[in-house]
Structure 1
Amino acid sequence: MTHHSAEPAGGHKPLNGGQQGPTTVRIVAPVRQDVPVVLQANGTVTPISTVDLHPQTTSTISKVHIKEGQFVKAGELMFTLDDRSERANVDKAQAQVERDRAALADYERQYKRALELLDKKFIAQGAVDTLKSQVDSARALLNADIAAARAASVDASYTAIRAPMNGRVGAINVYPGSLVQMTTLLTSVTQLDPITVAFTLPETALAGLMAAQREGAVPVQVKLDNSSLAVNGKLSFIDNTVDPVAGVIRVKAQFDNKDTALWPGQYVNTQLTSHVIKDATVIPQNAIISNTRGTFVYAVDKDQSAKVVNIKRLYAFGEKAAVSGLNGDEQVIVDGKQNLRPGGKVRIASAETPADKPADAPADGTKQKG
């Protein structure tokens, strides 16, 4: 097959009477293997929960029980406010309840006695009805004062400010004697274990992520900048909306952080396997040619000539790429293709498979010339 418009990349015409000798090429045999699709992105460490502590009443600080930077457990006492007024209100409310109980008991005794007298015709029905109303009124008053006593106890509980969760205390903004009100920020508590990393991925990764999450936990690894330390976790959140402007989806991963290797606000490098391309066809990336005609490779045809095979690059990793469009039996040309044209004769110098070098990185740190 002859294409008059196609010439070798160097632009030189054959010198031996218009006949060009075979081009020496090196070939590679495609390899079939499972290829994990690894996604990488920059992320930010974010706490699952951060709570700003404010008093729920106006008072003065009586005692500060914690220190800045201290780790606290849920329910641990952090601040005590002056509670003298609140305790007095509790005592007053409880005393009122006791008085109401005594009054109710007295009315109930009178009502019971009145019923006995009514049976003997010693008292009028109207007097009995009056006592019944007094009993009902006393019972309602008792219930109201019991509720008031509970409210007073709730108000008194606001003077003891406790940790809402396990976490680390931030800066403390008040001291014993400080006057505080509901708008006063006392301190904050940040949950550090577990902790999350927020990052974004291309929307093209969404289908693979969703499929992987349906099959089970999706492992995620993060590395700190300028550090070889790696922390392993799992994907915990995929946002319900794709950013239509940036074309990305927001995700989060959760990590155990007992040793506090991750700190809120840190920038980290994230890596996760979204899915695995089963039985993928793998070839060296330097065998692939992309130009205005599309993406293709040269392969050696049966008559020892070069033929074009159109392919699609599915995923690139290191010096290798998983592609579609090859059946796996081709002899793919990796070296010498710059001198080729479709139908041109070739002479095979050597052959290798992509497995001859590590799949995730070049063997010598450089890419081969194509």
Structure 2
Amino acid sequence: MKNLNTIAIVAASAFACTSFAAADESDLFQLGDQLHGVARPSEIAELPSLVPGTIVEVHVKEGQFVKKGTPLVTMDDRVPRARLLAATVEANLTGALKRAEVEHRMAVSRLNRLRAALSRGAGAGFELEEAEGVRDSAAAAIEQQRDILKAAEANRQLAEAQLAQYTITAPFDGLVTEIHRKSGAIDPSQLIVTMANLSTLEVEMHLPSRLYGTVQRGQTLPLKAGQPIANSINASVVSVSPIIDSASDTFRCLLQINNSQTLLPAGFSVVLKNSDNNTAIGRVTNAR
């Protein structure tokens, strides 16, 4: 009887171990897992006005593709443009510097003549001391004029930077998605144009911690896209966070979808499902 009990205990233990192993493998990718995300532009910029003023021209239209640096909106810049012109003229006023350089050369020449005369026994020592003072004063005048020109050049650069604030330019290659203001007076920080880079779409997902290690950077995963795509698309894993959030028991994963021809819109939903649906997680599981 004791032997029968021992056999029963061993058999039960073996069954329990087998069941635990099976449960451990299946729990990793539970049936019904649906990991959701949204395909968003890789870059989006809401461009405000940096200075108060009046819009005089909108250079682009909604839906237009523009290159980085393309002017989008120009404000009335007559005042800063005139300020730049004046600063440029001031920065190029080199006459005073040239005069100081001529006076310095003359002072050096006179000093050399006095030294030569003193070597022959002619002239007086106080004349040499006076000539050296004139030379040093002329050299100081040169440095002063150079400092004045440096300050004038700094003012010119400041005026140029201030003028640039009156034109809103594209910060990257992308589409103009919305023009919020086309005319009239505007205040600083008031939104004017919105742009988006749709050549690459990004999907941020927070995956359960049990999946950590099964999704790795560089992998290509198929996603099921919602409407209006309603099809499977590929996404590359570009980032897997090494930090698991203890509150949600998830880790962050960033995927990218190649959209170089901009055929896909942004904002559609995507799903990463389990192996029961023969989608992404199932393939990663099989690869593991």
TM bracket, shorter-chain basis: 0.7 to 0.9
> Which of 193, 213, 236 pairs up with 1:187?
193
Contact 1:218 1:274 in 2 (8 A): no
Aligned AA for 1:169?
V
Deviation at 1:83, TM superposition (A): 1.5
> Which of 257, 260, 268 pairs up with 1:258?
260
> Which of 45, 48, 65 pairs up with 1:71?
65
Counterparts of 1:139-288 in structure 2, within 5 Å, are: 139-176=146-183, 178-210=184-216, 213=217, 217-225=218-226, 228-270=230-272, 271-272=280-281, 273-276=283-286
1:117 and 1:259, CA in 2 relative to 1: closer, same or farther beyond 3 A? closer
Separation (CA, whole Å) in 1 of partners of 2:80 and 2:214: 59
> Which of 34, 51, 54 pairs up with 2:45?
51
Counterparts of 1:15-34 in structure 2, within 5 Å, are: none
Counterparts of 1:122-137 in structure 2, within 5 Å, are: 124-137=131-144
1:136 and 1:222, CA in 2 relative to 1: closer, same or farther beyond 3 A? same
Aligned AA for 1:221?
P
Contact 1:209 1:275 in 2 (8 A): no
Deviation at 1:167, TM superposition (A): 1.8
Contact 2:178 2:195 in 1 (8 A): no
Aligned AA for 2:231?
L
Contact 1:205 1:274 in 2 (8 A): no
Aligned AA for 2:157?
R
Residue-by-residue CA offset, 1:192-211 (whole Å, 9 max, x unaligned) = 1111112222101112224x
1:114 and 1:201, CA in 2 relative to 1: closer, same or farther beyond 3 A? same
Separation (CA, whole Å) in 1 of partners of 2:56 and 2:63: 21
Q: Secondary structure at 1:45's aligned position in 2?
A: strand
Question: Are 2:94 and 1:113 equivalent residues in the alignment?
Answer: no
Deviation at 1:40, TM superposition (A): 5.0
Greater alpha carbon shift after TM alignment, 60-69 vs 108-117: 60-69
Separation (CA, whole Å) in 2 of partners of 1:150 and 1:125: 38
Aligned AA for 2:97?
L
Residue in 2 that maps onto 1:61: 55
Deviation at 1:79, TM superposition (A): 0.7
Residue-by-residue CA offset, 1:84-127 (whole Å, 9 max, x unaligned) = 1111111101111222x111011000111111011222763222
Contact 2:239 2:255 in 1 (8 A): yes
TM-score (ref. length: structure 2): 0.75
1:240 and 1:277, CA in 2 relative to 1: closer, same or farther beyond 3 A? closer
1:72 and 1:195, CA in 2 relative to 1: closer, same or farther beyond 3 A? same
Aligned AA for 1:106?
R
Deviation at 1:68, TM superposition (A): 2.1
Separation (CA, whole Å) in 1 of partners of 2:143 and 2:262: 62
CA RMSD in angstroms comes to 2.5
More strand by share: 1
Residue in 1 that maps onto 2:78: 84
Count of paired positions: 239
Q: Which runs of 5 or more structure 1 residues have no equivalent in the other structure?
A: 7-36, 279-370
Deviation at 1:184, TM superposition (A): 1.0
Greater alpha carbon shift after TM alignment, 198-207 vs 261-270: 261-270
Aligned AA for 1:51?
A
Greater alpha carbon shift after TM alignment, 268-277 vs 217-226: 268-277
Separation (CA, whole Å) in 1 of partners of 2:105 and 2:186: 53
Deviation at 1:225, TM superposition (A): 2.3
Contact 1:233 1:254 in 2 (8 A): yes
1:49 and 1:228, CA in 2 relative to 1: closer, same or farther beyond 3 A? closer
More helix by share: 2
Residue-by-residue CA offset, 1:258-280 (whole Å, 9 max, x unaligned) = 344543332212334435466xx
TM-score (ref. length: structure 1): 0.59
Separation (CA, whole Å) in 2 of partners of 1:159 and 1:98: 25
Greater alpha carbon shift after TM alignment, 135-144 vs 238-247: 238-247
Aligned AA for 1:61?
I
Q: Secondary structure at 2:61's aligned position in 1?
A: coil
Separation (CA, whole Å) in 2 of partners of 1:96 and 1:243: 60
Q: Secondary structure at 1:186's aligned position in 2?
A: strand
Separation (CA, whole Å) in 2 of partners of 1:208 and 1:232: 17
